[in-house]
Amino acid sequence: MEKLVIHGGNRLTGEVEISGAKNAAVAIIPATLLAQDVCRIENIPNISDVVTMMHILSSMGAVVHYINKHTIEVDTKPVNSYIVPHEMTKKLRASYYLIGALLGRFNRAKVSLPGGCNFGVRPIDLHIKGFELLGATANVENAMIVASADHLTGSSVYMDKVSVGATINVMLAAVKARGLTIIENAAKEPHIVDLANFLNAMGADVRGAGTDVIKIRGVTHLHGCTYSIIPDQIEAGTYMVAAAATKGDVLVKNVIPKHLESISAKLVECGAQVIEYDDAVRVRCDGPLKRCNLKTMPHPGFPTDMQPQMSVILSIANGTSLVSEGVWDNRFRYVDQLIRMGANVQVDGTIAVFQGVEELTGAPVRADDLRAGAAMIIAGLVARGTTEIEDIIYIDRGYEDYVEKLRDLGADIYRKDFRDDTAQPAAG
Ligand code: UD1
């Protein structure tokens, strides 16, 4: 097992290159199932969630070639199974995209309920409702989602709640359905647009992605294509916050600045300077960090996946900040770890009040989930003394080469192998 060791206090300075978007990659890889052909995907992030998804496709018969660290070729023609067992899905929330993709390809899917980050109840009722509106039956049987249809038929699908996953799953199921599907109150995240562009590159007819209404006219055949994934909005935002929190000066490269607007706006409110270039942003901060209020919302609002990282700034900013979580019902678990480092935070349901403190101090903490882990790293970077972070397996799921990238920016951070000395040998 490994943990991270961080000696805090160094300013981050220099340049960092952002990898391809995790949440786009984990949707686009299952989407290749729809083509029964060879797809070449570039700018794939080298993270464990992607490795898991590729592993699932391989286990179903797809032929996967790594051309280089960030480019793969997937031939999904040999896939002949529509069943994905628990051993495959337990590590990855996004494994539920296999339901939409397999339904689209085989008109049936049997996929074990997904694992992944736990920040509250994560229902999939909207996904199931969407499949049913397209003419499928979908039920949960023995912890597996079983969906099937004679054929899928385009339909009007209104999302009661804005859901990234349900929007993507209905898109995947609808691209080869008969007739027109209209998704209303659709999610608008950048990776929804990226998936639509990928599907269209395979010959699909998807319009309106990035707005509330997505129209999908079903086609009978999709073909292979070459496609490059967008940069990761959340990885970029995480380095931007780390730069500001450490009073650093960092050029964050290979980004789409428009995707970062809500994050840039909050950093500016907190006293940082953000300069936008065509495909980079520079974040620097040399004055005091200021308080601000934050409410997470679906895109283009402030992303919930940036809430824990941004909260580290608020825990050392001047004054009192209010953070309101508008997407998930239980996304403040990491606060207990920040309190161990000296933060002054009160949580009441989906609202947290941060009373800024002079400084954080290093402590042994854990990564409760992927973005909580990113927040712990930022807290460790600004803290006085040494922070040790356990359960970094979560962070490995979504951030490529983060130790190397942070070290290049001047951070004192390294991985350390450890054996849990307190663990007792199993009885019997
Ligand atoms: C995706 C992201 C995740 C991010 C989240 C919100 C991926 C792989 N993961 O997760 O990192 O935090 O978007 O930006 O892209 N809901 C229902 N019923 C459903 C589905 C969702 O009530 O059937 C609710 C959820 O409980 C939550 C809200 O809708 O309160 C948003 O969830 P959703 O957008 O679906 O999140 P994910 O797609 O799982």
pLDDT > 50? residue 104? yes
Mean pLDDT of 206-219: 98
* Across 11-20, 121-130, 197-206, least confident range: 121-130
Say yes or no to pLDDT of 193 above 90: yes
Count CA within 13 A, CB hemisphere, residue 59.
15
- Measured CA to CA, the distance from residue 248 to residue 154 in angstroms comes to 51
Q: Is the pLDDT of residue 195 over 80?
A: yes
| Ligand 1 atom 21, closest CA | 163
Mutate to test the pocket of ligand 1, among 161, 170, 325 (most ligand atoms within 8 A of CB): 161
Q: How far is the CA of 16 from the centre of ligand 1 (A)?
A: 29
Residue 389: closest CA among 8, 1, 5? 5
Band (423; pLDDT cuts 50, 70, 90): very low
Atom 33 of ligand 1, nearest CA residue: 163
Active-site annotation holder among 117, 270, 285, 292: 117
Residue 334 has pLDDT above 90, yes or no: yes
Q: Which amino acid is at 32?
A: T
Q: What is the pLDDT of residue 300?
A: 97
Stretch 291-297: mean pLDDT: 97
pLDDT at 2 over 80: yes
Judged by average pLDDT, the poorest of 91-95, 107-111, 336-340 is: 91-95
Q: What pLDDT, on a 0 to 100 scale, did the predictor assign at position 140? A: 86
Which pTM does this prediction carry?
Answer: 0.95
Average pLDDT over residues 369-381: 97
pLDDT digits (tens, 9 = 90+) for 222-254: 999 999 999 999 999 999 999 999 999 999 999
Tokens of 83: 């069943």
Check if the beta carbon of residue 193 is closer than 8 Å to that of residue 199.
Answer: no
pLDDT of residue 116: 53
The pLDDT tens digits of the residues spanning 265-289 come to: 999 999 999 999 999 999 999 999 9
Nearest CA to ligand 1 atom 11: 305
The percentage of the chain sitting over the pLDDT mark of 90, rounded to a whole number, equals 89
Cα 228 vs. chain centroid, distance in angstroms? 17
- Distance separating alpha carbons of residues 343 and 294, to the nearest angstrom: 17
**Omega of the bond leading into 300 within 30 degrees of 0 (cis):** yes
Pocket-testing residue among 49, 327, 328, ligand 1, by greatest number of atoms within 8 A of Cβ: 327
Say if CB 194 and CB 164 are below 8 A apart: no
pLDDT of residue 425: 39
What pLDDT score does 78 carry? 97
Return the structure tokens found at 331. 């996304």
Find the 165 Cα to ligand 1 centroid distance in Å.
6
The more confident residue out of 311 and 427 is: 311
Name the average pLDDT for the chain: 94
In CATH, what number does 2-19+231-424 get?
Answer: 3.65.10.10
CA gap 211, 217 in Å, rounded? 17
Atom of ligand 1 nearest to the CA of 164: 34
pLDDT value at position 143?
A: 83
Smallest CA-to-CA distance from 103 within 60, 57, 136 is with: 136
Residue at token pair 């079903």? 218
Gap from CA of 416 to ligand 1 centroid (Å): 33
Instruction: Calculate mean pLDDT across residues 81-95.
Output: 84
Written out in words, the top-level CATH class of the domain with range 22-228 is alpha beta
User: Which residues belong to CATH 3.65.10.10 in the chain?
Assistant: 2-19+231-424, 22-228
Active site residue 117: yes
What residues flank ligand 1, with Cβ below 6 Å? Answer: 23, 26, 93-94, 121-127, 161, 163-166, 187, 304-305, 327-328
Cβ-based neighbour number of residue 404 at 10 Å: 10
- Describe the chain by its helix, strand, coil percentages, rounded to 5: 35, 30, 40
Look at residue 424 in the predicted model and tell me its pLDDT.
43
Cα(315) to ligand 1 centroid in Å equals: 26
The answer to whether residues 337 and 227 touch, using CB atoms and an 8 Å cutoff, is no
